[in-house]
């Protein structure tokens, strides 16, 4: 029996799509614009499948990165995965996007001189904050994910998109700076299950008012 075809989506930072079968990456596609999630994700899925000579019906499983990340971007990726899984009648699972970067780092640098050292994966949370998680040398998450000021991140080697943003506060080292959706597709089924809820870690900027505003004009003196 052929290995299952896995379609992977992640919109925690950029827009990224990957395809893999049995651990072999068949294709990737991505857009670096963090504001183009809605417009770009579905066309990227179609292009990635077409370039590999495959159709949506060939997909056996979907994996989606749950973040942490900004509210709108995460919702686009997760809802798209839900819709595709429902339309194709295929299972889907969510993983922590930081775990994907940790797996990338372990795979790419397991033969490096600093192998055996714990490390941190950090991404940009804006507002002078970062999303981060701490990992053992083999890429197993042992703390997080969390959001905090860069100065509150453990003093360990740091990889990920935020590694170079705060050089005076984070010990950035050689390692991945962008999430590889091919790694997400190839290794996502084996990464820890993060459930199906987006990892916002903080409330969205837009919030419902806690109290109704009065539309009546104040009464003047009689």
Q: Give per-10-residue mean pLDDT for the chain (222 aa).
A: 92 94 95 74 95 97 96 91 97 98 90 74 96 96 97 97 95 95 97 95 56 52 53
Domain edges within the chain:
5-97+179-190, 98-172
Nearest to 23 by CA among 84, 85, 107, 86: 107
pLDDT at 203: 58
Instruction: Give the separation between CA 159 and CA 177, rounded to whole angstroms.
Output: 6
Q: Which tokens in the block code for residue 187?
A: 């290794």
For the record, the structure tokens of 161 come out as 């998109």
Instruction: Enter the tokens of residue 50.
Output: 């077409």
Q: Are 101 and 179 in contact (CB under 8 A)?
A: yes
Query: What is residue 37's predicted lDDT score, i.e. its pLDDT?
Result: 64
pLDDT for res 211: 53
| pLDDT of res. 2 | 81
What is the fold, at CATH topology level, of the domain defined by 98-172? Nucleotidyltransferase; domain 5 (3.30.420)
pLDDT at 205: 47
Q: What tokens does 139 get? A: 């890429």
φ/ψ of residue 136, rounded to 5: -70, 170
Tell the CATH topology of 5-97+179-190. Answer: Nucleotidyltransferase; domain 5 (3.30.420)
Give the model's pLDDT for residue 73: 87
Residue 34 is predicted with a pLDDT of 65
- Which CA distances in Å does 187 have to 20, 46, 107, 151, 163? 9, 21, 11, 31, 23
Residue with tokens 């889907």: 92
pLDDT at residue 178, as a whole number: 95
Place of tokens 């100065």: 151
């Amino acid at each position: 029996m052929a290995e299952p075809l896995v379609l992977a989506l992640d919109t925690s930072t950029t827009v990224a799509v990957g395809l893999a079968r049995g651990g072999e990456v068949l294709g990737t596609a991505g857009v670096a614009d963090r504001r183009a999630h809605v417009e770009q994700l579905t066309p990227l899925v179609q292009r990635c499948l077409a370039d590999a000579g495959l159709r949506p019906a060939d997909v056996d499983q979907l994996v989606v990165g749950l973040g942490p990340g900004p509210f709108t971007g995460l919702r686009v990726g997760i809802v798209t995965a839900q819709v595709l899984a429902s339309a194709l009648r295929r299972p889907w699972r969510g993983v922590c996007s930081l775990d994907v970067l940790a797996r990338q780092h372990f795979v790419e640098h397991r033969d490096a001189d600093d192998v055996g050292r714990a490390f941190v994966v950090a991404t940009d949370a804006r507002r002078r904050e970062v999303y981060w998680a701490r990992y053992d040398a083999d890429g197993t998450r042992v703390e997080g994910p969390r959001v905090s000021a860069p100065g509150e991140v453990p003093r360990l080697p740091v990889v990920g998109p935020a590694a170079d943003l705060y050089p005076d506060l984070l010990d950035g080292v050689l390692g991945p700076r962008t999430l590889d959706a091919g790694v997400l597709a190839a290794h996502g089924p084996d990464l820890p299950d993060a459930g199906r809820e987006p990892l916002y870690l903080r409330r969205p900027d837009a919030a419902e008012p806690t109290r109704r505003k009065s539309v009546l004009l104040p009464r003047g003196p009689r």
